[in-house]
């Protein structure tokens, strides 16, 4: 009898310990779900992820992030800002001496991790050279991180300016663009940095416009791309057209037809194509892995200016690779390219976009993407320029 009671007591202890482990593991997720009842749900989730990153590490925070994504597909609409919070928490760890090695998760939701990290780093050090060295260190480990890190760099040098007079926005951002030009001789890096500056400028406008729709500062709402057209330096011009997409999405209330009409007013075809690609890329965050929404998006591209249809399709494919289910983003992108609404030639180009954009993903992810392609498109992986991925 004593032996049986001892066994029962031991099993009870094991069960209690297992329960505590489950509670410990799912507690942050439960806290994020509870944020739905907060007056500031977005800020609440960011706070949970920030604290979890600092207390449990980057991996734990991204695990909660994936749980939240699976729980609520609409989470994709704000997931970029949630990854900001993980990046900010990671900087706190970095400041305490913890090394930050690139991880696949850093690419989630438009590389928001690097945006948050660089914003915190520059706010703490106010040293662009130190921030640039961090990007170089990341790139020395994983080559493709320089793209996202430099965009985050542009966010960081803009984020904490205390501006009260927006009557001349070009003068306001001139110092930041000057840093972008001085920090690197690589025009691609300069453009990415400038994109971060213009992205931050757009977010500043959106915040003020959301609070007061009569706000007329920063941009001309009837001609929002005028600020991009004013850029004579080609890398900055490209960075602006590429990263002013959130402004167009806000002004159009995420309505494709209204936004596409604003893009169609851009006179230069190359500028318009870049703007269209990145507008549809941004709208992809609203598709939520929903087949009906994905197919409707494919059909909508044919309502764009005829010379911008291909850019629209490419943008949606790239956006789905950014904003869909973490680790399996390619499934939604493939569903988009396979949509019956796409014409045959556009469908082939769409699948090529997926393969080209996935070449720098982890080898296992690339192989899984290739295996999920329709048999008729399998040759794209064979012809890939990255033999190590096959």
**H helices present in the chain, as ranges:** 2-34, 41-56, 58-71, 79-95, 108-125, 128-141, 145-159, 169-183, 187-211, 226-229, 234-243, 245-251, 256-264, 269-283, 291-300, 309-323, 329-337, 344-358, 363-372, 379-382
What is the pLDDT, as a whole number, of residue 12? Answer: 45
Q: Return the SS3 of 6.
A: helix
- 144 has a pLDDT exceeding 90: no
Question: Average pLDDT in the 374-388 region?
Answer: 74
pLDDT single digits (tens) 226-247: 999 999 999 999 999 999 999 9
What is the pLDDT, as a whole number, of residue 112? Answer: 87
Tokens of 352: 């090529």
Where in the sequence is the domain holding 352, given as residue range(s)? 269-390
Of residues 6 and 263, more confidence is placed in: 263
Of residues 86 and 163, more confidence is placed in: 86
> Does residue 285 belong to any structural domain of this protein?
yes
Question: Average pLDDT in the 178-197 region?
Answer: 95
User: How far does CA 178 lie from the centroid of its chain?
Assistant: 25
- For the stretch 177-186, contacts whose Cβ atoms lie closer than 8 Å and that sit 24 or more positions apart, written own/partner, are 177/236, 179/128, 180/154, 180/236, 181/233, 183/128, 183/129, 183/132, 183/153, 184/132, 184/150
What is the pLDDT, as a whole number, of residue 387? Answer: 41
User: CA triplet 163, 168, 174: central angle to 5 degrees?
Assistant: 75
Q: What is the mean pLDDT of the chain?
A: 86
- 308 has a pLDDT exceeding 70: yes
> Does residue 381 belong to any structural domain of this protein?
yes
What is the pLDDT, as a whole number, of residue 117? Answer: 94
Domain count, the chain: 1
> Does residue 205 belong to any structural domain of this protein?
no
- 13 has a pLDDT exceeding 90: no
- Locate tokens 């019956």: which residue? 340
> Does residue 286 belong to any structural domain of this protein?
yes
What is the pLDDT, as a whole number, of residue 104? Answer: 80
Question: Average pLDDT in the 165-171 region?
Answer: 84
> Does residue 169 belong to any structural domain of this protein?
no
What is the pLDDT, as a whole number, of residue 25? Answer: 43
> Does residue 198 belong to any structural domain of this protein?
no
> Does residue 157 belong to any structural domain of this protein?
no
Question: Average pLDDT in the 160-167 region?
Answer: 71
Other Cβ atoms less than 10 A from the Cβ of 71: the count is: 11
> Does residue 304 belong to any structural domain of this protein?
yes
Question: Average pLDDT in the 283-308 region?
Answer: 94
What is the pLDDT, as a whole number, of residue 368? Answer: 92
């Amino acid at each position: 009898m004593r032996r049986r009671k001892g066994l029962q007591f031991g099993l009870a202890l094991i069960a209690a310990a297992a329960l505590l482990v489950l509670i410990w593991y799912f507690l942050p997720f439960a806290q994020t779900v509870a944020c739905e009842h907060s007056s500031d749900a977005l800020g609440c989730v960011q706070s949970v992820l920030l604290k979890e990153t600092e207390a449990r590490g980057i991996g734990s925070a991204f695990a909660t992030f994936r749980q939240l994504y699976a729980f609520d597909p609409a989470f994709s609409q704000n997931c970029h800002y949630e990854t900001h919070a993980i990046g900010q928490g990671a900087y706190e760890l970095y400041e305490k001496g913890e090394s930050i090695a690139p991880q696949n998760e850093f690419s989630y939701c438009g590389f928001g991790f690097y945006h948050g990290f660089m914003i915190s780093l520059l706010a703490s050090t106010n040293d662009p050279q130190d921030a640039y060295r961090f990007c170089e260190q990341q790139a020395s480990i994983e080559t493709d991180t320089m793209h996202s890190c430099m965009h985050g760099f542009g966010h960081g040098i803009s984020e904490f300016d205390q501006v009260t007079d927006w009557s001349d926005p070009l003068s306001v951002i001139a110092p930041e663009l000057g840093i972008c030009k001085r920090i690197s001789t690589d025009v691609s890096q300069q453009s990415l940095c400038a994109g971060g500056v213009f992205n931050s400028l757009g977010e500043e406008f959106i915040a003020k416009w959301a609070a007061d729709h009569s706000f007329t500062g920063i941009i001309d709402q009837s001609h929002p791309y005028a600020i991009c057209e004013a850029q004579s330096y080609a890398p900055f011009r490209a960075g602006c057209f590429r990263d002013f997409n959130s402004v167009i999405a806000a002004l159009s209330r995420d309505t494709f037809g209204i936004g596409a009409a604003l893009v169609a007013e851009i006179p230069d075809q190359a500028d318009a194509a870049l703007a269209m690609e990145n507008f549809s890329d941004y709208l992809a965050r609203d598709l939520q892995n929903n087949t009906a929404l994905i197919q409707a998006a494919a059909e909508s591209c044919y309502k764009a200016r005829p010379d911008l249809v291909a850019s629209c399709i490419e943008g949606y494919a790239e956006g789905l690779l950014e904003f869909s289910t973490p680790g399996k983003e390619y499934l939604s992108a493939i569903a988009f390219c396979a949509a019956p609404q796409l014409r045959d030639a556009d469908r082939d180009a769409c699948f090529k976009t997926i393969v080209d954009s996935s070449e720098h993903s982890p080898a296992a992810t690339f192989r899984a993407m290739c295996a999920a392609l329709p048999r008729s498109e399998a040759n794209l992986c064979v012809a890939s320029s990255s033999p190590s991925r096959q």
